[in-house]
Structure 1
Amino acid sequence: MVVNHNTVILRAAANTRPIAVILMVMISLQNAAAQERSPPSSILINVELPLTAGRNCEITCRIVGWETSPDVSWWLGDQRLMDTMEEKLVSEDGNETVSILLMTPLPADNGETLKCQAEGTDGIREKSVKLLVYYAPIVSIQLEPPVRADDIREGDNVALTCKLRSNPPSWRVKWMLQGRLLEEIHSRGPLIQSFTLRLNAINRTMAGNYSCISFNAVGDTESPPMPLTILHEPVCRWQHSVMFTVPLGKQLDLNCDGAAVPPPDSYRWIFSRSMETAPFLTPTGDLSVDNIPSIKWKGGPTWRNYQLKEDADYGTFYCSAINALGQQQRPCVFHVVPPGVPKAPSNCSVVNEKRDVFSVRCPTETDRGFRQSYQIEIYDLYTGYLLVNKTQLSPVFLLGGIEQNRQVTIRIAAVSPRGHSEWTRINIVGRS
């Protein structure tokens, strides 16, 4: 091949598309058309399909049989590719021209028409090819109607669809909540039909950032997170009552730390000095004012600087928050108790000790407003074998199933949220 001169042309970029380089090579081969078995004055495109998005590829356009070297341009759809650098090697006769396009395809290029156009003394000729571009899934999440993102309430049925575009088609979808697989969070697993996640009777524990991951032969893609906010009435952040042990002369702040969406706008506080009414040990609903001996009201989330001046200041506080959806159904419960453990039962007696069924009785005592329970244990006096272990609210125990001639030792203790008292012991020697 004889080369007369080189020409390098650098064109200013007309757009920001990442098309790497168009390399124009002008060569001359004697009888090139015959040797390559190409028809005279022909134009051919050589490309290996499918292409992969984001991966550099090389596409060539051969123009054969022109009297003079033509100008070559590349088009993608109706847009001319302008980000180019051309290098020209001009032969003596300019019989054959090869243009090499270096490009990095995008997912949007799939199905587009790529065209090589030659223009010269022989006129204008062009050749085109429809691109097949493979790419990893492009993923997003859509909340299905009629539910609105700003009005999802506990008990609603919610459907999230993993909207995706991929080539080749996606064959698998995983759902994530707060960066964890849903199966790791909900033991029964979600109901997944096709690419839709259905959350039936949704509750506040299912709020958070949802995302889906789609897989195809090229790779996997995770969608941007979709935050799911669930409106609900106030609830206490803890499931059980909280106990504060505070000596006389001190003060404390009580915070009604309720969780609610939207946030609470008011609070209801009730203080009870009496623990003798069983429903208020573990309240399950709204509090009845008529049944509480002592009541105080506060309007804010914190009962501040509560003073412990006397024994009557110990008791239980109930707090219910209120938001736009309603009032907290199960109040937060705070037991404020003095230091120490309850006193051991005293003046206990055994009744009908020589019968098959007998009883042990102790005077009922309330430890500074706290309703106590009582534990009894009965052991064989000589072997130490445990015969009875029983706990109940009443200090009157009805016992049976112990042989009359068995010598036993009985011990009784009081139990409250403050702890376990010392044991009170009674020995029964010879019940026959």
Structure 2
Amino acid sequence: RPRPNVTWYLDNSVIDESFETRPDGTTVNHLSYPNIGRQHLDARLMCVASNTNLTPPNNKVVVLDVNLKPVAVHIMAKEKFVSADKRYEIECKSSGSRPEAAISWWKGTRMLKRVTKNFSETGNQSLSVISYTPTVDDDGKYLTCKAENPLIPDSAIEDKWRLVVHYTPIVKLQMGSSLNPDDIKEGDDIYFDCHIQSNPKPYKLAWYHNGNELHHNVTAGIILSDHSLALQGVSRNLAGDYTCMAANTEGRGTSNHVTLRVRYAPICATDREELLGALKHETLQLKCEVDASPAAESFHWTFNSSGEQTELPSRLHSSETGLSRLNYTPTSDLDYGTISCWGRNAIGVQKSPCIFQVVAAGRPFALQNCSVSNQSADSLHIECIEGFDGGLPQMFLLELVEVPVLRLVRNLSLQHPPVQFFIDNLEPGSSYRIILFAANAKGRSEPVIIDDITFKGVAKYTGVSNVMNVPLSPVLAALTLTVAVLFAVVCIVLATIYRRHATKNTSKKLKTAKSAQLTSTPDCQLDSGVHHQTHDPNGIQTPLVEGGAGGVLGRRGSPTMGSEPPDGDETDPDVIPNQYERRPPKTTLPTPLFRSPSARLIHRNGGEHLLHEEERHCDGSSLASLTGLNTEVHHYSFKPSKQISYATLGRANNSSVTSTLSPLSQQPSTATLPLPSLSSMSVTGVGAVGSLLSSPASQSLVTSTLNEYRFRPEVVTTSNRIQESCI
């Protein structure tokens, strides 16, 4: 008392103060609050009763728990495309529902049952994960994630994802609809259609015949267009299985096989003639096998000998599908020849027959394509291809011969092909020759010889080595190699310096010797020597000079020995004098005087040829003193030098002379001038002098003789070696 006031508060705000007092003394305040929303969740609704300020009010509190619809649903990570037959984990998240929303997955109008997980993250948020494997049929369909509060009718919301499914091309091949696959003959035109279902579009389309790719070739009648293949004028070679293949980024798709059957007349199964050997009265069974579509129905056989073709009776052969056999027995020489077989089917008669050459039996043909393979240290393997057996059973022989002693090491034989021999336990380090034959009752074939089969031997150590095996480090090896290279370089440099120094010394010595010879007297231009006679193969007798004791060999052709003409002029400036190097002489005879013929001979009384003066040594002693030292009688023929020849032939030189020495102990050689006056003027002994010719007839004879021998080579003997440089 007094009666209380009843008031409604919402979060400390008065929302209703109206109340009524009932007869029984109670006070009632009915609250009706419209539009409870998401903002009222967990709000405090309080009813307060108070009657005086002297006592505290009484109250009751109600906390609002509001059921809420889901406000959002999303499929996470929507891909631009997915690949068929590949597994994906897809998430869908919902929020705003209280209690948490129930999430379901739909593909088109069909609900998906394979949900991996549903769970609530925080309060009014839900998450669902589905394991999904798209198929080719899913391309273009929608994948839907639906969220719904089961306590609130019509509270479902959804999110959709349009699927773009990529997949390997699906290819189907069929022959042109206007064609009859069972009635295609050679020469017909056909085409194929390739139907492709693909996402993404294919970037390649290929055609295959029996597994081999076809290419556009108008000449061969193969035409490739967008999705079709045309074959113009088909032949039996184009029969077989056809496929088409399309490729995109997902992979390659191959179509079904379509078999093309081309009908054609019979042809031989083998494109070569058969050679058969037979004895007289020996029966041969000839097998004629043909390839045809449809199969050959009948056959006939013909025989051709010396250009006349006859039909063989049908009783001699039997036929079956695609095959005919003929029993043929030659009885005379006229029964050997060519037998032909012809087949026939629904398309026509065979154009080119199958040919069999029947010949008299003989020796087999030689083996072919023999080769050595798998050669090891002591074994090898030989393979050959057998040839024609000669009409008789043949066997195969191998002979292994050791060379160069030609000792037969092995003798092997085979009774039947294939021709394969294996030889082992051969001696290392030996060389062999292989001889291969085929043989039958008529004899052996021509041999096949394989030479130069060598087995390298392996080094054998019979003693025990006392040298320790010390491992060689890479650093030590590199150091050793470096020292070796440096040593080689130093040796090369020293050798080069030595050779240059030796060349300079040799040049200086040659110049000194040359100047000494040029300053010597005319009578002593050459060192002491003994003339020896050598015989040129052309019949020319050439005097050679050896040096005396302690002497230096003279150089023939040098400026001090007839390289200048008698008048001192150089008749041929283009001729470079040669230097001759001679080894030390073996004799120690005194040195006779050597003069040019023009210095030794003088012109006297127009026709006589006398000695100019007594020949002497460089020391003044007479040549007659040499008789006691050398009892051998020497004969000398003077070989005219090139300079004297030029001087004689090139100008009118009345003082030029040519001397000829005739032998006393030998017959005159072809180099001796055949003049009667010369034979009487011959001089014997060491250093003999020829006669002087002054008559015109003698001069012409001398000129012809010089022309004959002016360019003949000089003979080099074993007793007097000459090293000559020709420039």
TM-score interval w.r.t. the shorter chain?
Answer: 0.5 to 0.7
CA separation of 1:189 and 1:89: change in aligned 2, threshold 3 A: same
Match of 1:406 in 2: none
Q: Percent identity?
A: 29
1:62 & 1:107 partners in 2: Cα distance? Answer: 27
Structure ranking higher on relative contact order (CA contacts 8 Å, 6+ apart):
1
CA separation of 1:114 and 1:87: change in aligned 2, threshold 3 A: closer
CA separation of 1:85 and 1:337: change in aligned 2, threshold 3 A: same
SS of residue in 2 equivalent to 1:327: coil
The correspondence for 2:295, drawn from 249, 255, 263, is 263
Match of 2:352 in 1: 330
1:90 & 1:139 partners in 2: Cα distance? Answer: 47
The correspondence for 2:126, drawn from 76, 85, 97, is 97
SS of residue in 2 equivalent to 1:256: strand
Match of 2:609 in 1: none
Displacement of 1:226 in angstroms is 2.4
2:233 & 2:220 partners in 1: Cα distance? Answer: 14
The answer (yes or no) to whether the contact 1:136–1:215 under 8 Å persists in 2 is: yes
Please list the CA deviations of residues 124-174 of structure 1 after superposition, one character each: whole Å capped at 9, or x if unmatched: 333322211111211121111211222222111111122111111112111
Match of 1:72 in 2: 103
Q: Which structure has the greater CA radius of gyration?
A: 2
The correspondence for 2:74, drawn from 44, 56, 69, is 44
The correspondence for 1:315, drawn from 322, 337, 340, is 337
2:134 & 2:199 partners in 1: Cα distance? Answer: 13
Q: How does 1:40-189 map to 2 (within 5 A)?
A: 41-46=71-76, 47-82=78-113, 84-90=114-120, 93=123, 95-119=124-148, 120-122=150-152, 123=154, 124-183=156-215
The answer (yes or no) to whether the contact 1:154–1:231 under 8 Å persists in 2 is: yes
The reply to whether residue 220 of structure 1 matches residue 242 of structure 2 is no
Displacement of 1:272 in angstroms is 1.9
Please list the CA deviations of residues 191-239 of structure 1 after superposition, one character each: whole Å capped at 9, or x if unmatched: 1111211111111001122222212222222223322221212112234
CA separation of 1:158 and 1:189: change in aligned 2, threshold 3 A: closer
CA separation of 1:88 and 1:215: change in aligned 2, threshold 3 A: closer
Q: How does 1:191-206 map to 2 (within 5 A)?
A: 191-206=223-238
- Structure 2 unpaired stretches of 5+: 1-40, 42-68, 364-727
1:115 & 1:171 partners in 2: Cα distance? Answer: 33
Code of the aligned partner of 1:211? T
Please list the CA deviations of residues 283-329 of structure 1 after superposition, one character each: whole Å capped at 9, or x if unmatched: xxxxxxxxx44532245133243323333432322222222223223
Displacement of 1:111 in angstroms is 0.7
2:107 & 2:186 partners in 1: Cα distance? Answer: 51
Displacement of 1:340 in angstroms is 4.8
Code of the aligned partner of 2:208? M
Q: How does 1:377-392 map to 2 (within 5 A)?
A: none
1:327 & 1:219 partners in 2: Cα distance? Answer: 49
Displacement of 1:247 in angstroms is 2.4
TM-score normalised to structure 1 length: 0.60
Code of the aligned partner of 2:102? D
Please report the RMSD computed on the Cα atoms of aligned residues, expressed in angstroms: 2.8
Displacement of 1:255 in angstroms is 1.8
Match of 2:541 in 1: none
Displacement of 1:90 in angstroms is 4.4
- Structure 1 unpaired stretches of 5+: 1-30, 32-38, 278-291, 342-432
2:110 & 2:339 partners in 1: Cα distance? Answer: 74
Identify the structure with the greater helix proportion: 2
Please list the CA deviations of residues 347-387 of structure 1 after superposition, one character each: whole Å capped at 9, or x if unmatched: xxxxxxxxxxxxxxxxxxxxxxxxxxxxxxxxxxxxxxxxx
2:126 & 2:176 partners in 1: Cα distance? Answer: 56
The answer (yes or no) to whether the contact 1:271–1:315 under 8 Å persists in 2 is: no
1:168 & 1:308 partners in 2: Cα distance? Answer: 73
SS of residue in 1 equivalent to 2:342: strand
TM-score normalised to structure 2 length: 0.37
Match of 1:233 in 2: 265
Please list the CA deviations of residues 83-118 of structure 1 after superposition, one character each: whole Å capped at 9, or x if unmatched: x2543434674x111212222222221111212233
CA separation of 1:131 and 1:226: change in aligned 2, threshold 3 A: same
Report the count of equivalent residues: 287
The answer (yes or no) to whether the contact 1:207–1:228 under 8 Å persists in 2 is: yes
Code of the aligned partner of 1:72? I
Displacement of 1:183 in angstroms is 4.0
Please list the CA deviations of residues 29-63 of structure 1 after superposition, one character each: whole Å capped at 9, or x if unmatched: xx9xxxxxxx9612222311211123222322222
2:293 & 2:257 partners in 1: Cα distance? Answer: 20
Displacement of 1:64 in angstroms is 1.6
Displacement of 1:121 in angstroms is 2.5
The reply to whether residue 295 of structure 1 matches residue 312 of structure 2 is yes
2:216 & 2:318 partners in 1: Cα distance? Answer: 41
